[in-house]
Structure 1
Amino acid sequence: MKTFILRRLLHTTLILLAASLLIFLLYALMPGDFITGNVKLTDEREAELREIYGLSDPVLERYAVWMGNALQGDFGYSLQQQKPVLTLFNEYIGSSFLLAITSTILTWLIAVIVGVISAYKQYSWFDTIIVIFVFAAMSIPSFFIGLFFIKIFAVDLKWLPPGGMITTGSNATGFAYVKEVLHHMILPVAVMTLLGVGSLTRYFRSNVLDVIRQDYIRTARAKGLKERTVLFRHALRNAMLPAITMIGFELPALFGGSLIIEKIFNWPGIGNLFMQSFTVRDYPLLMGLTMLIAIFTVIGTLFSDLMYRVADPRVKLQ
């Protein structure tokens, strides 16, 4: 186990170095930047700013400086927000985690229960409805569902707020503030859950269908065990093993999957900040956010491998 972890940490370091170079070159070689896109600047002021921020230096030299600062915890300075990138992370990451973790828990809970029942009642009317819903949820774009929900529940029925994290001008504190945030969370969480539950339900349904045909399931039923025990203690436990590998990808998906949703609902999170930075070509902030997602990706992959070993002791990590 120790040898495996050390080897994976070495591989992770090399992958992150390669990813950092690719991310930097991707943004550095793109035409234009925040300074050239600002029409209010004179040529002299533009040249002065490019010199101050080192944008006139060779690309590889700029990468070496950026990477050296990143290793010390400095991912640069946002030209639009006029704040360090890490400071912006601290300000916005909590809101993104709140949305993403809530939707992830609901998605997995619904997918596990519905997937198991759908597999158990294969070809029934319930299974047919679930299959239709799954393919519909996987086919409809996220922006369409988000705008449709706003139209129905916020504009027509006026049950829920159309966006934001709190009501404009609100001075709520304590429990009133928590209640207000939860009220604003309902629509974006519902959309994110709806988008994620389709593919995950299909995945669990397929796994459970494979497992319940195994001999040990027939043996468990022959022993007189209750069907609920057979399904959720024996079948689901083994069907969950392949799904563990997906947990590692949930960590970067906490941010990547909420980019459009946060923008649609004007949620003050990392995703909304990322979309705003694209419009003004704030590359230092974009590089920092992209690197953050890359770090979460490799950490999540390592975590899923370790979790698979814990869940199934028969697996040997080499």
Structure 2
Amino acid sequence: MDILRVTATRIFYAILLLLAVLILNFTMMHLAPGDVADTIAQSMGGADEEVLARIRADYGLDQPFLVQLGTYMGKILRFDLGYSFYYSRPVTDLILQRLPATLLLVFTAQILAMIVGVVLGVISARRPNGILSHFVTFFALFGYSAPVFWTGILLLIAFSLKIQWFPVAGMRDVTLTGGFWVQAVDIARHMVLPTLTLASIFLALYSRLSRATMMEVLGSDYVRTAKAKGLSTREVVYKHALKNALSPVITLAGLQFSAVVSGAVLVETVFAWPGLGTLAFQSILARDTPTILGILFFSALMVIVGNLLTDFVLRLVDPRMRGRA
């Protein structure tokens, strides 16, 4: 019952947080200079005040702010994110069309960064003064300081233009014909460089954090007791120490999920990946307010759900977290 109560409390606060984010996003877009009518008028080559007033009336922009906000929140409750004037399609359809590509890229990069980062951190923690430990430290500093778009451009130049191992842009080769496995291999080839780019900065964080926490755990009393009982180093590290050392890494993964989503905007733009990042970039240039608000809503939803899942995984991994509010 404690777990159910804690879960219900977390979900309740997550809903309140999502509502606050929606209101904040709508308010910021309302305060920004210009509106949809100005953008449509520019695409038409200009318009007089009568035409602008008619456009604002069609989009409900002539109503008071609170009325507009209430109308927007009512549509959100009906899962209606509005209509994109730039793409001439419902925003929900646009997002659902691009969402799988972003989720595939984000989750692949996150999983890769966690696995490789934890492995490097654990190995270097076992020999803190070894060459590998110093390499992990250098790699972490380099990966964390390098801008993600710069890393992507370097990988493009090296492995797409010079060596030509991987495609330059896109998610698939539209001229390629074949069955499921042919298409899957083609998508995997297109994913390599964007995934490595997005995972680079987070891999550095996970490797440093797992190294530090693993060194702290290996110096604890229960680990020394396990060694005194004659357990092998592998059993001590992977059966006893690693479970406790993973808790901070999992927490960081949940906190960094928002940064992964925001970083995907830059990565998708560099590699022309057909996901939410590219859609957001194009919508910002076009001043497509409904689409921008819809993408912000989905991004906030992904971050909140990611944090909820992180809290749930922590309670499964670390028994000390169970029952806590």
User: Normalising by structure 2, what TM-score?
Assistant: 0.92
Q: Note the C-alpha offset of 1:185.
A: 1.0
Describe the SS at the equivalent of 2:165: coil
Q: Which residue of 1 aligns with 2:16?
A: 14
Q: Which residue of 2 aligns with 1:30?
A: 32
Q: Which residue of 2 aligns with 1:317?
A: 324
Q: Which residue of 1 aligns with 2:198?
A: 192
- Deviation per CA, 1:191-211, whole angstroms, max 9, x where unpaired? 112222001111111110110
Q: Which residue of 1 aligns with 2:214?
A: 208
List aligned pairs for 1:203-282, cutoff 5 A.
203-249=209-255, 251-282=257-288
Moved more, 154-163 or 238-247: 238-247
Aligned equivalent of 1:174, options 168, 180, 192: 180
Return closer, same or farther for 1:10/1:168 CA change in 2, 3 Å cut-off: closer
| CA–CA distance in structure 2, aligned partners of residues 137 and 146 of structure 1 | 12
Contact 1:50 1:56 in 2 (8 A): yes
| CA–CA distance in structure 1, aligned partners of residues 85 and 52 of structure 2 | 13
Aligned equivalent of 1:71, options 77, 101, 109: 77
Q: Note the C-alpha offset of 1:34.
A: 3.7
Aligned equivalent of 2:66, options 60, 84, 90: 60
Contact 2:243 2:318 in 1 (8 A): no
Describe the SS at the equivalent of 1:257: helix
Describe the SS at the equivalent of 1:267: coil
- Deviation per CA, 1:171-205, whole angstroms, max 9, x where unpaired? 44422211211111111111112222001111111
- Unaligned ranges ≥5, structure 2: none
User: Normalising by structure 1, what TM-score?
Assistant: 0.94
1:116 maps onto 2:116 in alignment: no
Please tell me the residue identity of whatever aligns with 2:224: R
Q: Which residue of 2 aligns with 1:106?
A: 112
- Deviation per CA, 1:80-124, whole angstroms, max 9, x where unpaired? 111111111210111111111211221111011100011111021
- Unaligned ranges ≥5, structure 1: none
Contact 2:148 2:263 in 1 (8 A): no
- Deviation per CA, 1:3-35, whole angstroms, max 9, x where unpaired? 223323332222222211111001111011343
Of all paired residues, the percent bearing the same amino acid is 32
Aligned equivalent of 1:286, options 279, 287, 292: 292
| CA–CA distance in structure 2, aligned partners of residues 289 and 249 of structure 1 | 19
| CA–CA distance in structure 2, aligned partners of residues 123 and 195 of structure 1 | 23
Moved more, 161-170 or 88-97: 161-170
Q: Note the C-alpha offset of 1:239.
A: 0.3
Q: Note the C-alpha offset of 1:50.
A: 1.6
Contact 1:93 1:270 in 2 (8 A): yes
Return closer, same or farther for 1:251/1:196 CA change in 2, 3 Å cut-off: closer
Q: Note the C-alpha offset of 1:134.
A: 0.6
Q: Note the C-alpha offset of 1:289.
A: 1.1
| CA–CA distance in structure 2, aligned partners of residues 5 and 220 of structure 1 | 35
Q: Note the C-alpha offset of 1:274.
A: 0.9
